[in-house]
């Protein structure tokens, strides 16, 4: 079993928050596809990293998670590309980790 996590930006490049409806659509799509989703919507996580030019960049992200039995890499790649277009991002981080139910 795998835990798949998607980190979606709260703001666009100009600093304008994305509308709540955009995140609701992601939540619905994941719930429809996988039968459930956990969305951490109340307190955005804050990311901080150094870009290629050595400048510190910052963003706020919302975390969406689903658990899947097997990874369909093609489906996830296509969905990530769709999210990158919807959120006008160069890259949306989608990551998967093996998990064990206890």
Give the domains, in start order, of the chain with CATH numbers.
Answer: 2-96 (3.30.70.120)
Taking the CA of residue 60 as centre, how many other CA atoms within 13 Å lie in the half-sphere pointing to its CB?
Answer: 12
Q: Which two tokens stand for residue 7?
A: 């980190």
Could you tell me which of 43, 48, 2, 10 has the C-alpha nearest to residue 26? 10
> Average of pLDDT values for 53-73?
89
Closest CA to 94 of 77, 74, 70, 82: 77
Distance CA 102, CA 100 (A): 6
16: Cα separation from own chain's centroid: 18
Q: What is the pLDDT of residues 4-61, one digit of tens each?
A: 999 999 998 888 999 999 999 999 999 999 999 999 987 777 777 777 888 877 788 9
Picking from 10, 25, 17, 31, the residue whose alpha carbon sits closest to that of residue 92 is 10
Determine which of 46-55, 82-91, 93-102 has the lowest per-residue pLDDT on average.
Answer: 46-55
């Amino acid at each position: 079993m795998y835990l798949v996590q998607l980190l979606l930006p709260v703001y666009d490049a100009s600093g304008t928050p994305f509308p709540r409806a955009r995140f609701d659509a992601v939540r619905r799509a994941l719930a429809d596809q996988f039968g459930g989703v956990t969305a951490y919507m109340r307190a955005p996580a804050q990311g901080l990293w150094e870009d290629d030019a050595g400048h510190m960049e910052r963003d706020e992200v919302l975390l969406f998670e689903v658990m899947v039995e097997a990874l369909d890499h093609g489906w996830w790649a296509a969905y990530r590309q769709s999210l990158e277009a919807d959120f006008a991002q160069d890259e949306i981080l989608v990551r998967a980790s093996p998990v064990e139910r206890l």
